[in-house]
Structure 1
Amino acid sequence: MGKKLGELNSEDKQGKPNHVIRISDCDINQERLACMKRRTLESPRLLNNSSGRSSCSIFRVPQRFIETNGRIYEPNVVSIGPYHRGKPQLQMIEEHKWRFLGSLLSRTESKGLTLEDYVRDAKRLEQKARECYSETISLNSDEFAEMMVLDGCFIIEVFRIVGKLVTPDPDDPILSTFWLFTFLLRDFLRLENQLPFFVLQSLFDLSKMPEEEKYQTGGGHSPSLAMLALGFFNHSTLDRPHEVIERFRNYQPKHLLDLLRSTYTELTQEERKGKPVTHLIEPVTKLRRSGIKLKQRISSDNFLDVSFRSGVLEMPAITIDDFTSSFFANCVAFEQCHRHCSNHITSYATLLDCLINTYKDVEFLCDAKIVENYFGTEGEVARLWNNLGKDTAFDVERSYLSSLFGEVNDYYCSGWHVQWAIFKHTYFSSPWSFLSAVSAVILLVLTMIQTFYSAYQYIFPSKNKGN
């Protein structure tokens, strides 16, 4: 019996196995087929092919993070870059960007610069700038250049005014309105709200005026763009010392978020790698019961400089408010998306996620002067850190805190000091438990004395009778 179409031909004419499947004739939509072939040749748009390269550093925040942490990744008043461009709720500042650009143009026309020069400079960097975004940008060349000039010059003008290189109008509605200024601080550090730093640097160099040289810093030079940016962010609760700002004078980060992040991560020593770490550490409440002490580290202003020695976990003080919570969330998102950077902020966030389980843990950290809370209730602070640690990919072996995790775990799980600490915590943590423990000891001693005399009288009855 012959084989039907659609069956597997098991042998060819020479009797050898043949695994070709013959499919019976059917109608194929050729137009649809052509469309499928075109799709196989198209590059992805929402996460393009260049997203895994080191040059790509400005990402859409993963939806899972947004579902967990809410709008902490979205700009409140100003759009920078293409991702939030044109949103209705951001149009107020969009109008003022043109005013800031006009002010810059009127100041630099004495150098012979026109708007055409700035647009030409932006177009020169267009392709390199596009490769910095994980999402394919639909703007055409002219629109993309306009965006870079408008947004970049706005940022630079704000930095120059705050850095006192440019004398502002004292009644400027953008910089004299306190609530608006605080939102600018946060919006300039949103991961989705970034321009490549080399674009800002090029526009800054192009627009630099000779009179700016008279504004010299401690090093005898006019401030660089990186220094002006860090000086601007010093109006927040993450205040960097002058020596740190000077050290980052010529630093070339990926963008503004990476710049402020780097002033902490680049100055943190990598810890010595110990034995492999299999699990993270326990919350504050359990660590204290095992005899581990937590105290503020006075010798450092870098919150990443955490140490553990002789049963004492030392942590520099950190202020938790709307600014720092936004900074941490966007840094964690950046480190999760950009595999070419360290995971320092993620490591620190994971450490606090481990230490903080309930509001009681936050209360102790506040009492120990490790956490200064301007964010909300202790319960809200606990939820903040628990959410930041949720659904993040964290490799403890790759963490700068890997040896610290291991040392804390070893101390927590071993030795007589742990049993002694648990005993002290159980019986001497309050006056009532202390009195109960003392009463129990006295009762035990009296019982032992009574038992001793009863046994003595039983063993030596004649001596007792003689007496």
Structure 2
Amino acid sequence: MAEEDNPHIIDMWQVDEERLASMLENISQDPKLLSKAAGKKSCCIFRVPTSLADVNGKAYQPRIVSIGPYHRAQPRFNMIQEHKWRYLGSLLSRTQAKGLGLEDCLKAVALLESRARECYSETIPLNSHEFIEMMVLDGCFILELFRKVGRLVPFEPDDPLVTMSWILPFLYRDFLKLENQIPYFILERLYELSNLPQEESTPTLSSLALEFFNHSTLRPDEVIARFPHLKGKHLLDLVRSSFVPNLNREQKRVPTPTHVIHCVSKLRSAGIKITPTERDSFLDVTFRSGVIEMPTITIDDFMSSFLLNCEAFEQCYNGCSMDITTYVTLMDCLINTHRDVEYLCDRNIIENHFGTDGEVAHFFNSAGKEVAFDIDTCYLSQLFNDVHQYYRSGLHVQWASFKYTYFDTPWSFISALAAFILLVLTVAQTYFSAVQ
């Protein structure tokens, strides 16, 4: 007889009422660390997955300023937290004379509270007053800094956020950390409210924001000017979107499984060249007639942080393309060692402001780990396959390999020439000896 059919055993086992109550309570509770709303399109601000954080260390953690709830009230951010209140006061000093006070800002954001909470993947343990205060304080600080750096309003004399040259570069990076965001529509509402009537000719919020971050992205002004009405889920998504809108997406799926490509050294041995090209976005990579054309990308502290946080956003948010992830995967394929980085630097594909060539190689190799995306539907799927087919094709690859081995450097050419001359002399000596 099976134990489950024995009523005596069932009678002997008594239900622990306290444990039963605990289990029922757990069943009734909603998840907090990854809320049920995290799967909705409205949810766009996430904790970085542990799998990525373990690989890339502190790349996702803000260094000097906390924006939003995830890193709020940590003592290490107290210095900039104090200046947030000063910047809020600076903004209100201009708007109060025109009838806009602090209470108006709080009321406007209060109408958006429920929508703003849905943007976070975690349940935010703040009451309404605390949450609204945080949105207004952080949003007005960002907007006022945008205006001051954009010279719409002057900085106060001897403002330490400007006079101390180390602070602004950290703010550029911290404002683009995935865990350090507030919803873009909050910034839009506060920007709309705080624009005075005589400021009607001021730039749009997207233009002002992209101009602010262009101190680090260093794109031509005419490129930034093309996005006056660009929107994003938050600032990270806004800047990310400014790099991806015009990519060729005509072919969404290739007919055969997509193959990853080899590193630079192996591609060169097969006669595939990599050349720089002038394009608006570093993502705009093409391949034709044995040549990969890639725009120049500057790898520094800002760009490395930006790439990693965009990649984390694409891994978490189900409403965007995987373009940054695809590009990082491409670079991970191309780069195996510092020699590959050295070649890309020599070809002006990479401007290395990051460190040694080995450090750049380590960055891309680490960034390419623990990411998930569909290589068959990515925007570079056709390029991956075309390069793979060219690499495997016939006689020209063997000839290219011969040239790469014997004529790639002056020393290899001299060695090959010396070997050829020695062979000719040996044959001649043998011939004349036979004739004699």
The TM-score range, normalised by the shorter chain, is over 0.9
Describe the superposition over 1:161-190 as per-residue Cα deviations: whole angstroms up to 9, x where unpaired.
112221221311113321101111110000
1:6 aligns with 2:7: no
Q: Secondary structure at the match of 2:225?
A: helix
1:225 aligns with 2:205: yes
Q: Secondary structure at the match of 2:293?
A: strand
CA contact (8 A) 2:223 2:280 kept: no
Structure 1 range deviating more: 40-49 or 434-443: 434-443
Partner of 1:349: 328
Partner of 1:289: 269
1:258 maps to amino acid = D
Deviation at 1:444, TM superposition (A): 5.2
Structure 1 unaligned blocks of 5 or more: 10-20, 217-221, 458-463
Deviation at 1:24, TM superposition (A): 3.8
Tell me which of 365, 388, 408 is aligned to 2:344. Answer: 365
Matches within 5 A, 1:210-249: 210-213=197-200, 216=201, 222-236=202-216, 238-249=217-228
Deviation at 1:96, TM superposition (A): 0.9
Partner of 2:319: 340
Separation (CA, whole Å) in 2 of partners of 1:167 and 1:436? 66
Separation (CA, whole Å) in 1 of partners of 2:2 and 2:9? 9
Separation (CA, whole Å) in 1 of partners of 2:219 and 2:6? 72
Matches within 5 A, 1:89-168: 89-168=76-155
Q: In angstroms, what is the RMSD of aligned CA positions? A: 2.3
Relative contact order, CA 8 A, sep 6+: which one is greater? 2
Q: Secondary structure at the match of 2:13?
A: coil
CA contact (8 A) 1:6 1:24 kept: no
Deviation at 1:157, TM superposition (A): 0.5
Separation (CA, whole Å) in 2 of partners of 1:402 and 1:304? 13
Deviation at 1:447, TM superposition (A): 6.7
Partner of 2:58: 71
Deviation at 1:269, TM superposition (A): 2.0
1:249 maps to amino acid = P
1:378 aligns with 2:357: yes
Cα distance 1:8–1:447, how it changes in 2: closer, same or farther (>3 A)? Answer: farther
Deviation at 1:365, TM superposition (A): 0.6
Q: Aligned residues, how many?
A: 435
1:127 maps to amino acid = S
2:75 maps to amino acid = P
Separation (CA, whole Å) in 2 of partners of 1:374 and 1:427? 33
1:36 aligns with 2:16: no
Separation (CA, whole Å) in 2 of partners of 1:117 and 1:436? 80
Query: Which structure has the bigger radius of gyration?
Result: 1
CA contact (8 A) 1:301 1:317 kept: no
1:247 maps to amino acid = R
CA contact (8 A) 2:173 2:306 kept: yes
1:405 aligns with 2:403: no
Tell me which of 19, 26, 42 is aligned to 1:55. Answer: 42
Separation (CA, whole Å) in 2 of partners of 1:323 and 1:38? 46
Describe the superposition over 1:7-63 as per-residue Cα deviations: whole angstroms up to 9, x where unpaired.
279xxxxxxxxxxx9944422121221221121121111111111111111000011
CA contact (8 A) 2:87 2:141 kept: yes
Partner of 2:401: 422
Structure 1 range deviating more: 395-404 or 433-442: 433-442
Deviation at 1:409, TM superposition (A): 0.5
CA contact (8 A) 1:271 1:402 kept: no
CA contact (8 A) 2:314 2:320 kept: yes
CA contact (8 A) 1:190 1:330 kept: yes
Structure 2 unaligned blocks of 5 or more: none
Separation (CA, whole Å) in 2 of partners of 1:366 and 1:381? 11
Deviation at 1:435, TM superposition (A): 3.9
Separation (CA, whole Å) in 2 of partners of 1:88 and 1:282? 47
Please report the TM-score for the alignment, with normalisation by the length of structure 1: 0.88
Partner of 1:182: 169
Please report the TM-score for the alignment, with normalisation by the length of structure 2: 0.94
Tell me which of 209, 216, 228 is aligned to 2:196. Answer: 209
Deviation at 1:446, TM superposition (A): 6.4
1:82 maps to amino acid = P
Tell me which of 412, 433, 436 is aligned to 1:433. Answer: 412
Q: Secondary structure at the match of 1:174?
A: helix
Tell me which of 297, 312, 331 is aligned to 2:310. Answer: 331
Describe the superposition over 1:342-379 as per-residue Cα deviations: whole angstroms up to 9, x where unpaired.
00000111111111110111111110011111100111
CA contact (8 A) 1:125 1:199 kept: yes
Separation (CA, whole Å) in 2 of partners of 1:397 and 1:330? 23
Describe the superposition over 1:129-187 as per-residue Cα deviations: whole angstroms up to 9, x where unpaired.
01100111111111100100110110011111112221221311113321101111110
